[in-house]
Chain A
Amino acid sequence: MNDDKKIESFFEQLRLADKNVHVPAFEEIKSPQKRPIGSLLRLGIAASLLILFGVFTLRVNQKEEVDPHFTEFLPLSIEIESITTNSLIKTVSNIEEWSAPSNSLINHYHEW
């Protein structure tokens, strides 16, 4: 019984000491607390990832939405040699009419 009194007195002292402890108001506890920076950061990262994912999906969808009747024309430039009949005309020069390219040197050598 004496032991119980000692213990009761001990807890009575503890109760008295606890009177100095600040007890937050009920409303303060009940209302939502400010989110810690860590959770805000996580929320920010998640939001930016979501936005990036959204943009990516939008772009992919845009690429897939191609009009099936749409025909794309590619300008192709093909160079074709002009067809002429020049190659068919063959001029054969007569041996009598032929003159050497250095003929002029014989006739007009003094001019050189």
Chain B
Amino acid sequence: MDSKELEQLLKVYHKDAFYWARQCCHYDSEEAKEVLQIVYLKILEGKAKFGGKSNFKTWLFSVIRFTSIDSLKKKSSFESLDNLSLVDNDSFQENVIHYEHLLEKLSERQHKVLLLSFYHGMPLSEIAEVMNLHIGTVRTHYERGKASLKQIIEKEQNER
């Protein structure tokens, strides 16, 4: 696949890629932009090669996930990624449902698995590729994540 074809494919998935990068960077748009830029450079310079074994979107999402992990590790080397929350607390408004904030209450894996499934519409087999996990593990995170999110939503509704 030449660089023009790659560029064309990146353009097609650009919006989804940005949203996924943002979700991987704790909903920080600026961080997502930087991560996505590194990802595009990696792909267009041939440092990350698409082997054609999987769906292009699945592979792209996987590259974004790994790059965001590296980027966040560099920026917060003393803080665990699970504990890190960049959701802006200053702009927190009481009467608005903060979906991102609620999702951040889930474990990192449950959060990502549910996003890939319900937001990006990926089947579990593809989620397993993006997350670099066994499909059985993905299924477990999917089920537990749904149960936890349901509780979080109900708690949120009861508090209102």
State the A residues within 8 Å of B (CB).
Answer: 3-4, 6-8, 10-11, 13-15, 17-18, 21-24, 26, 29-30, 33
Contacts and interface: CB of A to CB of B under 8 A. Distances in A.
B33 A6 contact: no
Interface string B82-109: 0000000000000001011011000000
Interface stretch (B12-20, B51-59, B65-73, B132-140): B12-20
Contact of B146 (A7, A13, A21): A7
Interface of B is mostly: helix
B35 to A, nearest CB: 10
A33 B34 CA distance: 9
Interface of A is mostly: helix
B33 A7 contact: no
Interface of B: 7, 10-11, 14-15, 18-19, 22, 29, 33-34, 36-37, 40, 44, 97, 99-100, 102-103, 114-115, 118-119, 146-147, 149-150, 153
A21 B149 CA distance: 23
B18 A24 contact: yes
Nearest to B30: A24
Contact of B99 (A3, A8, A10, A29): A10
Contact of A7 (B10, B36, B37, B150): B150
B25 to A, nearest CB: 12
A20 B121 CA distance: 20
B37 A33 contact: yes
